[in-house]
Amino acid sequence: MKNKLILGEFELFWLDGGLCQFDGGTIFGAVPKVLWEKKYPCDQENYVFLTASPILVKTPRSLVLIESGLGNKLTDKQKKIFRLREEWRVPEDLKSLGFDRQDVDYVILTHYDWDHSSGVVMQDSERLALTFPNAKHLVQKTEWEDALNPNRRSINTYWDVNIETLKQSKNLELVAGDAEIVSGVSVSLTGGHTGGHQIVIMRSGGEEALHLGDLLPLHVHFNPLWLTAYDNFPLDTIRMKERHEKIGLAANAWFTFYHDPYYAACKFDEKGNIVAGVPPQVTSQQAG
């Protein structure tokens, strides 16, 4: 049974998009290890687990996928570098829920880093093809421009293999700022992690969920000052986290996660304590 959250008339499912390991120092940036290791486990080599779990949002009229997972085209070298522990199984997971990848209407990318966009394009037999051929793919215009013209810092995270097929298709839809995608699902430009990073707001039946993407990659990053070393504009990340966490707390909203192997979604109090949570994505043995 897939992890599931009922949000008014919406159903949210977390799909198996891959499980890997990153160096703890990069995930917690300037936060000293003596602090973060008390809240988030690491192995003897300082590596921590991260999922890449796309969120399928079933609305009364549409199927919306938030993020895309690690895909099926990582090379053996990349699998070793990123310590891949669980493979991408998004098409199989969709089938287990009664859907095909052709049924997805919208794919929302918070940003186009490889670990969020690699599932957009899949290896299909002998060719590369869009994983979700009938879906509109929503990316902020500034993010797409940065992906097409990476700088020295971002060139290793925006991968051509994830870009060209979508670029040549009719499935790309660029967003400028804030926009409603379908009734109850909207995006908002934040910047911070990347210049064109966006978040996803879901509202249905008087309930709300916020997907802050890599502004809030793990539940332990709720403190606005806890950032990753990957944030390109850290002061913007802090400012936007403060703003949207305040909004979410006032609305008693769920905060959903893509990278967190311990919680799919949480509700927090003002001190950042978890008051409600959707069960973990992987077993404690896998992640700890």
CA distance 212 to 191: 11
Provide the domain limits for residue 70.
4-287
- What pLDDT was estimated at residue 126? 83
User: Could you tell me the pTM of the whole model?
Assistant: 0.95
CATH of the domain at 141: 3.60.15.10
Split into its structural domains, the chain has a count of 1
CA distance 196 to 208: 23
Percent of the chain with pLDDT over 90: 93
The tokens describing 117, both together, are 């966009």
Q: What is the pLDDT of residues 165-210, one digit of tens each?
A: 999 999 999 999 999 999 999 999 999 999 999 999 999 999 999 9
Q: What is the pLDDT of residues 51-60, one digit of tens each?
A: 999 999 999 9
- What pLDDT was estimated at residue 273? 93
Q: Long-range contacts made by residues 233-236, C-beta under 8 angstroms, separation at least 24?
A: 233/191, 233/192, 233/193, 233/194, 233/195, 234/29, 234/192, 236/190, 236/191, 236/192
Half-sphere exposure for 138 (CA within 13 Å, toward CB): 27
* Average pLDDT across the chain, whole number: 95
Per-residue pLDDT, averaged over 92-120, amounts to 97
CA distance 169 to 237: 32
Whether the predicted pLDDT of 218 surpasses 50: yes
Provide the pLDDT confidence category of residue 279 given band limits of 50, 70 and 90: confident
